[in-house]
Structure 1
Amino acid sequence: MYCVKKTDFPVLENLLTACFENDPLYTLLIPDEEIRKKLLPELFKCDLDEFFNTCKVYADSEDMNGIIIVSDETEPFHILRYLISTYYATFKTDCYLIKEDPSLRVLWHFLKGKDYLNSRWTEHIKQKERLHIIYLAVHPLKQHCGISKLLLTEVLDYADAHSLLVSLETHNDKNVAFYQHFGFKLFEVVEKSIHLKQYCMIR
């Protein structure tokens, strides 16, 4: 496992864009393919800036063919720093959305889909002894090479050693069976205003 540095962000922005440009959530939030290709690297840059301050960010190796971002809900955090990071990231995201689409249609889609982006469903779990996997992504050209298993197993071994629950969500029904193979169970399926199913899973 390789601990990601800030200088690695450009590589990871490209990695995440390649992984999620055809994801069901992002194709609904940003229907125009050209706008989506321009926006996603900027949006993932915002995410990485925020998560670098609040989460653990690891890659499979220095080649960074895969990435896993994990929030450790057991760790104490500085509430002011957390709020500043979160609101600043939201502000920057909104600015990017408006810049790329002045009609505000994409911004409106993001506002309608906000519940799919904030893992709010985990409030129903009511357990602080928990890790939450925010992103697990492997470059499309490197998939089916065991990288996802490597990254996920590392996190699950840590969780088992510390008796922690692990939660995640996916918007792709094809991923459900993959996570079930690692012991995850379907907690609930969320479907809200944009008519997309969010599969919420725990282990």
Structure 2
Amino acid sequence: MIEEVMMERIYKTTIRTVAEVMASSFTDDPMHEVILEGLSRKDELLAAHSVIHTAHALRSGQLRLLDGNPGAFLIGQDSLDENRWNNLRLVSMIYLRTFLVLGMRDIRKIISNYKRAGNVVSFSWQEEFVSGRFFRIKIVAIDESMRGKGAFRRLVTPVLDYADKEKIPVVLETHNYDNVGLYEHFGFDLVKTIKSGETPIEQYCMIRNPVAETAAC
């Protein structure tokens, strides 16, 4: 019983910390700036969404902490493990929480924001380039106190090693152009940019193909 209580506390603490780091990282994300623009309770909504995303990632095995530290994490998944029902449940929870947090005025505003940004959001773009299994990196976030200490490399490298071993590409999308150069440093190529006249925001679609093992001499 004591062990169950302790595990529950650890579980809740992990979710809370990861969600806080996630919300902080989303604050400067161009896409989230557009979606949350003009909302009176945007901080509360972002915090609520982050908790939902974190709990979903933890339950579905997508959350990878750096050495067990929730202050730095990667959320991602092999396409073999993709579950459409789980994804639908996540989207439903996001919509429900949005309606519970926001008033009617903000509901109308966020719907307008989503319509404006929706033309530059695609999670199926990789079908143009990948005809099979792949690994998708969804979120990488690091607490400010842990940045500049190699945390990003230590989070991403195990995923790349896994993809190389399985001989599958790694895909990701970002709306922050500053991230493009960062991922290019790890072997990713920018293969597609999604644009729309409705918004200055663009989606940058990147792929890293598996690297063949070098034969030993």
**TM-score strictly above 0.5:** yes
**Of residues 7, 20, 26 in structure 2, which corresponds to 1:14?**
20
**Of residues 148, 164, 176 in structure 1, which corresponds to 2:168?**
164
- Deviation at residue 34 of structure 1 after TM alignment: 6.1
Partner AA of 1:29 in structure 2: I
Q: Percent identity?
A: 20
| CA separation of 1:164 and 1:114: change in aligned 2, threshold 3 A | same
| CA separation of 1:100 and 1:109: change in aligned 2, threshold 3 A | same
Cα pair 1:94 1:107 within 8 Å, conserved: no
In structure 2, the residue matched to 1:175 is 179
Partner AA of 1:142 in structure 2: M
- Deviation at residue 160 of structure 1 after TM alignment: 0.5
Cα pair 1:21 1:36 within 8 Å, conserved: no
What is the correspondence of 1:3-82 to structure 2 with a 5 Å cutoff? 6-7=11-12, 8-32=14-38, 35-75=41-81, 77=83, 79=84, 81-82=85-86
- Deviation at residue 24 of structure 1 after TM alignment: 1.1
In structure 1, the residue matched to 2:102 is 98
- Matched residues in 1 for 2:44 and 2:82: separation? 36
Cα pair 2:38 2:109 within 8 Å, conserved: no
How many residues end up aligned between the 2 structures? 197
Aligned with 1:104: secondary structure?
helix
Cα pair 1:39 1:96 within 8 Å, conserved: no
The higher radius of gyration belongs to 2
Partner AA of 1:127 in structure 2: S
- Matched residues in 2 for 1:127 and 1:55: separation? 24
Cα pair 2:172 2:207 within 8 Å, conserved: yes
> Which segment drifts farther, 163-172 or 30-39?
30-39
Aligned with 2:77: secondary structure?
strand
Q: Where in structure 1 do 4 or more consecutive aligned residues deviate above 4 Å?
A: 115-118
The answer to whether the aligner puts 1:194 opposite 2:199 as a matched pair is yes
Cα pair 1:15 1:139 within 8 Å, conserved: yes
> Which segment drifts farther, 182-191 or 22-31?
22-31
- Deviation at residue 129 of structure 1 after TM alignment: 1.5
Gaps of 5+ in 1: none
- Deviation at residue 84 of structure 1 after TM alignment: 4.6
**Of residues 150, 154, 158 in structure 2, which corresponds to 1:150?**
154
- Deviation at residue 108 of structure 1 after TM alignment: 2.2
Partner AA of 2:149 in structure 1: C
TM-score normalized with structure 1 length: 0.84
> Which segment drifts farther, 133-142 or 157-166?
133-142
In structure 1, the residue matched to 2:141 is 137
CA offset digits 1:2-31 (Å, max 9, x no partner):
xxx743111111010111111111111112
| CA separation of 1:194 and 1:55: change in aligned 2, threshold 3 A | farther
TM-score normalized with structure 2 length: 0.79
Root mean square deviation, CA, Å:
2.5
